[in-house]
Each structure stands twice: as C-alpha cells, then as structure tokens.
Structure 1
Amino acid sequence: MSAARPPEGARTAGEAEGFPMYAAARTGDAVADIDTPALVLDLDAMERNIARMAAFARQHGVRWRPHAKMHKCAVLALRLVAAGAVGACVQKTAEAEALAAAGVQDLYISNEVVAPAKLARVALLARSLQQRGGRLAIAVDSPEGVDRLAAALAGAQDAIDVFVEIDVGQGRCGLPPGPEAVQLARRIGAAPQLRFAGLQAYHGKAQHLRSAEDRRAAMAAVLLLVRDQLDAFAEAGLAVPLVTGAGTGSMAHEAGSGIYGELQAGSFLFMDADYAGNDTDPAQPVFEHALFVKSQVISRNARHAVCDAGHKSHAIDSGLPLVHRPEGGAPWRYANGGDEHGVLHADDGQPLPALGQAVWLIPGHCDPTVNLHDTLVGVRGGLLQGRVEELLRVDARGALA
C-alpha cells in the first residue's frame, strides 16, 4: 500500500507520538517532487473523460450511474453527479456506508446482500439516506434474498428500490432469464417495504473481449435475452421501470439498444492497461488514461533497471502494468519484480532509464489498484510540468463487507 499523506489536517498515531509524518506530496508541489511509489491522478485527462461520458449519455438519452467500486472516493462520486450522473453504484455495503457518510445521496448496491448483520446495516443506511432526501437501491436474485431484505426493513416508513438481477452471460450472480425473474418481481411487489425497480443485467466478461466485433456479438446475445425477459414481464402484466447495466467496454450497445435506461460504466474515469488492450469502437468515446503509479529507478545495471513499485503498489489480476513515457520515446517493458520492485527492460537497443528517473506505470486493473492506496494525488498541468492540486481520500479503501 502507498504511504501517501492523508489530506491536510489528518494525523497518524506516529506523528502524535513525536515521529515525523510521511507524505508523498503536498498541494502545490511540482509533479517531479511527488515521492514514490504514489497513485497519481491526471485531473485534466479525467475531466475530459467525464465530459465525453456526459455527452455520450445525453446523446443517447440514458441515465448514467458510474460504478464507485472503481475509484472509491466520495469527492469523485460527487463530482460525477455534478457533471450529470444520477448517483453511484457500489458492490459492498461498506462502500455504500463510506460514500454516504461523505455526502453521496443516491446509491445502488448492485449486488446481493443476504447476511443478517449486513442487512441490518442496509436498513439503517436506507433510513439515514431517506431522512436526508437521498435514496438506496439494491439487487436480489433469490426468493430468500427478498424475504430477508423485507424482514430487515420491517417497519420502515419508506420502501426501497429493488432490482432483480438476471445472468446475461457473466456466470456469476443472477437468475437465468425466464419466469423465475417474473415471480421474484411479484414477491418484491408483495412486500410493503420493497418496490420493484427493474432489472440488473450486466455482462462483465464482455467488457474485455478484445475485438469490437466480438463485443458487438456478445452484446447482441445479451440484448436478445433482455428483450425476451421484458416480453415475459409484459405477458405477466408487470411493468419494468428500468433496465440497468453496461460497462466501459460495451456501453455503446446498451445505450443504443432502446432497452437499457441506465449505464453503470465506471472505468472510463481512469482507464487501465487491460482496457488499453481493447480495440476501439467508433460507436463510443475514446477515453484517456488518467491513473498512474509514479515510481522511480532505484537500481540499474547493463541488463535492466529496477523501479520501486511492485505488487503492493498495483494490482496484477489483469496483468502487469504498462510503462507510460510522457516525455516520448519507446516505452520500457515492465517485468515482475515481486512485492516492492518492478524490473524494466529496454527493447531494440533503447537506453534504460537512469538511476532516480521517474517511471510512470499504467496499472493493469484500476479498481483493486486504487484499493491499495489511501490517497489519490491529483495533478494539474500534466505529468511533466504539472503541480499537485489536491489530495483525494480513498474513502472506501478496504470496504469489503
């Protein structure tokens, strides 16, 4: 994990005992002075991504509810709402609690919650948000899940929105499309504390199919499933208020379908090395890399250089990071160096980076990489001449329950 300094005013136990408090950066610092390893956010690139996403949603007449499980930061969730998002998605109760405590008002737990202790927290959070004029929604995929949720909310003055999740290809949570989903919606409607809000239909695997044609084919199959499910609801005389889903890799298909009314894409905000492997789709915006791990060379020999960012600085579930060179030139190749190190190789006779030189890494997967850090160092003006404008707390870091 990064030891980046908490935002101004925060103190550590070490400082209270007389030890100096470590800081990766302070506002106003030059980018060159950010200590390493640190998770750095290019604010200019991020804001261009937000503008492109907002314009895309307006063009297609759909709502957008970016997934906050990616950035885990209340300031960014609120910034997205200010740009036109209707609220935020999360996957965990603890993520919802962390963002709500920091002022996010409209939250959707797009996941199943069945443990009694967690459901008690869901009920408390729903009541708290409703008292502030906010809203909590949640997904279910089983009759028992509906019954447990209704029991936890017994006596609540206001009902909460509940989405039926159907499995459209992810092979994870969700009912198979068909009559069971209709029966589950009826069960929701029969509980006074619950309100059937629509369908959760997300195909995560489709986001990372490399060719645009493969993604198009996968999503065509998804749309057939969802249409059939909507027909089943219509035959049963039940209205489906909303179909929600979509990710950064497939959102052009959901947005243009005439079926989905809400997009949950989240990675567009930062992008990562895994998404860089996808072919571009002319039907949707091109988003820029905005999230980087700044590292520096700490050892060098004739064969390779070693930087100070290993697995504790970036997640590797979607592969190793790419090396970004803002100054230009062929990128170095990053190889596994363990927990604390990355090994850099130069191909085709290119020179290796010098001792102490900054090395910028594009993480393989942004979501779990952010979860390794306490703070995002927001810079304005680029990675070469920019300055630190703000330090953003990762409010839901470690919010796993």
Structure 2
Amino acid sequence: MTSVAGRRAPARVGDPVAAIDTPALVIDLDAMERNLAAMAAFAHAQGLRLRPHAKTHKSAAIAQLQRAAGAVGVCVQKLSEAEALAEQGVPDLYISNEIVDPAKLARVAVLAGRVRLAIAVDSHLGIDRLAAALKAEGTEVDVFVEIDVGQGRCGVAPADAGALALRVVSHGLRWAGLQAYHGGAQHLRSAAERKAAIEHAAGAVRAAKASLALAGLACPLVTGAGTGTFALEAASGLWGELQCGSYVFMDRDYADNHLGPEPLGAAPVAFEHALFVKSQVISVGAAHAVVDAGHKSHAIDSGMPKVWQGGFEFRNGGDEHGILTPVLHTEPGAAALPSLGDTVWLIPGHCDPTVNLHGSYVGVRGGLAQGVVETVWPVDARGCLT
C-alpha cells in the first residue's frame, strides 16, 4: 500500500471502502466539504474573517481547502505545528498561544521570514523576548494581546490589556488586536449556559477595549470563538474573526451540545460527522462483540466514541480493543450482535487528540457504505508538541 511518513498506509487511492485496513482514520470527504462550505458561508454572511484552528486536523491539505473556501489563514497552538504546515505550503499562520522560551522565539523569527505569521502574548517578558528575536532576524509578526475571558488559563485581566499593548507598540512590533477565546464555553451542554459564558466574555472584551482606549490605542481586531459558540460571538458585534476548528469533523462531544429550541442566530443548525475510525469485529461473545480499535486509535479524554448507525454502546476494552454491547437490551442476546469481520464505524469523542494518534487520513468519496478512496493524506503536524 501507499507509504505515508515512511509507514504502511491503510489504503490506496481507488480502493473501495471495504478494502481500508483497520483501525484507520477515515474522512467522509463529501460531509467535510459541506461543513467547510457552511462555516465559510456563515462567516461571509456576517462580514467576519474566518481563521479555522488547524490543531484540529493538523493537515496542510485541509488547511488549503479551508483557505480555498474563504479562510484568511489558520491557527495553530504550537510553534512546531506552524513549522510543519509552513513546510507544506500554508502561507498564513497564527500561533494563538504564548511562547516565552528564547530558543523557540528565535525559531518564530526565522519562520516569520517565510510566511505571514501572528502570535499571542500575555506578559512583558514574552513581548521583550519576542522583540529581541525579531530584531535579531530582521522579521515581523502580528502581535495579539490575549485576555482572560473566563477560561482561567492564559491571558491577562482585561484592565491590563492597554499596558501590555503599549509594550508591544513601544518595541515597534505590529500591534494586531485582542485574542479572546473562551475554550471552556465550547462544551457547556445547554444553549443557555453557552450564551451566559459568551456574554461574560463579551464584557471582558469591552473592558479590554476600554483599557486600550485609555492607553490611546485602537483595537484593530478581536479574534476568537469556537465551534460551540461562534454564532454568539458573531452576534455580539465585538469579534471580527472566528477561530472555529472542530466544525470540520464534528466529533461526538461537540454533537452532544444542545442547540436549544431555535438555532443560535444565523448559525447552521448542525454540522455533519465527517471523521471516523474504521474498525473491525475480531471476536464475539455471548453478549458482546470486540473491535480492533482501542484507545491507541481514539482519544478518550472526552469519553468513549459513538458507534455510527449501529445500535451499540462502545465500552473501553484497553489499548487495542473496544467492546460493543447492544443499546437498551434487557437480556444477553436480546439484540443481534455484529458478526466476525463486520465493519464498525466509530465517531471519536474528541477529534483533535484522536487525529494526533494517526499517521494518515483516508479520504473517501461517495459515503462510508459504497464509497471509494479518493486520497490518502499525511497528518503533517502529528506529534508537534513543542
């Protein structure tokens, strides 16, 4: 089979779906492209920039599809992710995270000579070291000040945004605006909870903009938002750029969010599941079946995967195995189990770390039942932790 990153790929272009080896990371290309189009259309209709988060897919090919659909570029969380995607031709990258290590900042400065690059900061030390690295290399980046909008992770208090932005400007760096992403709001299950969280985030953005005004600075752009809340940020009138990532694949955890009685604003009601782990039944007991996809093939930080159109519950069987039991059965054998050799499609609980477990994607055109392998893509930024 085709080699991807020096390893045996699970399929070849032209193979039927049935020939894909297991376990394998499979993209329903038709569904993914509809997701890409839906988000791009929403952003365009709202007059917003779209900069999807590539930490979801870690793929230059998918990043380029997002750019072709209207995205201005993509986000990453790690410098090595940016380097990997730049190496494969992605020209516009935003490291939406802080870097303070001088050796890494020297790499940032070098990378800025090859692509348009942006980075987030939340400390005077980080700004000073960034400025020194860029001066030494003679390059420039866009600089966003990150504010804490409720996540309790990175970011300064909104009232401190002005002082930090002045530090950026004092070094002659390109002042770009505010990073305002509320990751903790993305998986609040009810629409009311998510709405309240983003209302709080919007208050933080207003306070930060007021701090900037007191410092005599305008705010060119507020960037943030995720797949669970993007319509709320859009409706606020404060955010100018959306960083949604998981919409491209729509994992089980995001699908568990409740939309409420009406869609949020003008957002698409739902995105389609487009990322799957193909598995195969390798053993059958009296009341359960076992597939060959354990947690070495799908992340379990957000819970177990969901069985796609199967009527079965997935239980953790360890590194190499998943255990299937019928849903809502009352006695052993009350519902038919899959047979030895049957294909079972799994929807990962969390797409980002699941992708990081695989070396390649198998892109299928024509659906999971009768489709054909159209492409095999490497996961370019797999394992990029630094």
Matched with 2:243 is 264
The whole-number CA distance in structure 2 between the counterparts of 1:23 and 1:398 is: 17
String of CA shifts for 1:175-194, please: whole Å, max 9, x gaps: 0110x2111100100112x1
Shift in CA distance, 5/211, structure 1 to aligned 2, threshold 3 Å: farther
Matched with 1:233 is 212
Matched with 1:86 is 72
Alignment check: 8 A CA contact 1:6 1:375 kept: no
The residue type paired with residue 174 of structure 1 is G
2:279 to 295, 305, 317: 295
Alignment check: 8 A CA contact 2:358 2:379 kept: yes
The residue type paired with residue 326 of structure 2 is A
Matched with 2:306 is 322
Gaps of 5+ in 1: 13-21, 130-134
The residue type paired with residue 112 of structure 1 is E
TM-score, structure 1 as length reference: 0.92
The whole-number CA distance in structure 2 between the counterparts of 1:116 and 1:306 is: 49
Matched with 2:232 is 253
2:353 to 344, 368, 382: 368
Cα shift at 1:46? 0.2
Cα shift at 1:158? 4.4
- For the aligned residue pairs, the C-alpha RMSD in angstroms reads 1.3
Matched with 1:244 is 223
2:256 to 274, 277, 280: 277
The whole-number CA distance in structure 2 between the counterparts of 1:308 and 1:98 is: 30
The whole-number CA distance in structure 2 between the counterparts of 1:374 and 1:44 is: 22
Matches within 5 A, 1:184-263: 184-192=164-172, 194-263=173-242
Alignment check: 8 A CA contact 1:311 1:338 kept: yes
The residue type paired with residue 57 of structure 1 is A
The whole-number CA distance in structure 2 between the counterparts of 1:11 and 1:229 is: 48
Matched with 1:16 is none
Cα shift at 1:335? 0.3
Cα shift at 1:235? 2.9
The whole-number CA distance in structure 2 between the counterparts of 1:263 and 1:79 is: 17
Matched with 1:139 is 120
1:161 to 132, 142, 167: 142
The answer as to 2:24 corresponding to 1:27 is no
The whole-number CA distance in structure 2 between the counterparts of 1:334 and 1:399 is: 29
Alignment check: 8 A CA contact 1:72 1:396 kept: yes
Matched with 1:115 is 101
Percent identity, aligned pairs only? 64
Shift in CA distance, 177/113, structure 1 to aligned 2, threshold 3 Å: same
Cα shift at 1:157? 4.0
Matched with 2:384 is 399
Alignment check: 8 A CA contact 2:110 2:139 kept: no
Cα shift at 1:144? 0.4
The residue type paired with residue 226 of structure 2 is G
The residue type paired with residue 51 of structure 1 is A
Matched with 1:61 is 47
String of CA shifts for 1:242-279, please: whole Å, max 9, x gaps: 00000000000111111100000010000101111101
Shift in CA distance, 11/335, structure 1 to aligned 2, threshold 3 Å: closer
Matched with 1:313 is 297
Shift in CA distance, 11/156, structure 1 to aligned 2, threshold 3 Å: closer
The whole-number CA distance in structure 1 between the counterparts of 2:6 and 2:305 is: 32
Matched with 1:387 is 372
Matched with 1:40 is 26
The whole-number CA distance in structure 1 between the counterparts of 2:154 and 2:122 is: 7
Cα shift at 1:368? 0.3
The whole-number CA distance in structure 1 between the counterparts of 2:96 and 2:304 is: 28
Cα shift at 1:72? 0.1
Alignment check: 8 A CA contact 1:112 1:140 kept: yes
DSSP 3-state at the match of 2:196: helix
Cα shift at 1:392? 1.0
The whole-number CA distance in structure 2 between the counterparts of 1:386 and 1:155 is: 53
DSSP 3-state at the match of 1:256: helix
String of CA shifts for 1:215-247, please: whole Å, max 9, x gaps: 011111111111121122223321010000000
Equivalent pairs counted in the alignment come to: 376
The whole-number CA distance in structure 2 between the counterparts of 1:362 and 1:320 is: 9
1:49 to 13, 29, 35: 35
Cα shift at 1:155? 4.1
Cα shift at 1:23? 3.6
Alignment check: 8 A CA contact 2:110 2:137 kept: no
The whole-number CA distance in structure 2 between the counterparts of 1:46 and 1:267 is: 11
The answer as to 2:324 corresponding to 1:338 is no
The whole-number CA distance in structure 1 between the counterparts of 2:295 and 2:211 is: 47
Matched with 1:6 is 3
String of CA shifts for 1:327-386, please: whole Å, max 9, x gaps: xxx521000100000000013232111110000000010000000001000000000000
Alignment check: 8 A CA contact 1:376 1:391 kept: yes
TM-score, structure 2 as length reference: 0.95
DSSP 3-state at the match of 1:39: strand
Gaps of 5+ in 2: none
Shift in CA distance, 399/5, structure 1 to aligned 2, threshold 3 Å: farther
